[in-house]
Amino acid sequence: MELVKVVAHYANGKVIKGFVGNFSPNKDRFHLLSTTDPVSGTTEVLIKDLKAIFFVRDFSGDPTYEERKVFLEGENGHGRRLEAISIDDESFVGSTLGYDPKRSGFFVFPVDPDSNNIRIFLVSSAVKKFRYL
C-alpha cells in the first residue's frame, strides 16, 4: 500500500494533515496516518464531515504562490472543465472525470500544473455552486 500526503479540510474549518493509503471515493471513511507518528497515530475520517481532501506534493506548500484559476488556450485537462465554489466560498477550477451530486464527492484536477495540489476530492455536500466551463 503506497501512502500519499493529504490535507483534510473539515466542513467546520478544522484541518488535519497526514498520510493515507486506503482512500476510496466509494467508501464513507478512510484512515489518516499522523505526519509525526505514522505507525500508531491513526485517525478515522468520515467523508460526510469534510469539505475536501487535498492530495498534495508537500504539506507546507508555498503560501506566497498564486494558483492559476483559468485555462490557457488549447490547454486540456483530465475530463470536463469545471468551476466549483465550496460552502466557505473557496473556488476550485480544473477538470473532472465525473461529477454526480448524488455521490459523496468527485475528484478535481487543478488547472494549474504547478499547484501544490495534485488532485482534490470535493465532498458534494460542501459544494455551494458548480458549473462546467
| pLDDT tens string 1-45 | 688 999 999 999 999 999 998 899 999 999 999 877 656 678 999
Domain housing 26: 4-132
Cell of 85: 465554489
Interval 86-111 mean pLDDT = 95
- Residue 46, judged by CB atoms within 10 A of its CB (0-12, 13-18, 19+), counts as exposed
Residue 20: which of 50, 44, 52 has the closest Cα? Answer: 44
User: What's the average model confidence in pLDDT over 74-90?
Assistant: 91
Question: Global pTM?
Answer: 0.93
Average pLDDT over residues 118-128: 97
Structural domain count of the chain: 1
Task: Give me the pLDDT at residue 2, please.
Answer: 83
Q: Which three cell numbers stand for residue 34?
A: 499522523
Residues 6+ apart with CB under 8 A from 108: 82, 84, 92, 94, 95, 96, 119, 120, 121, 122
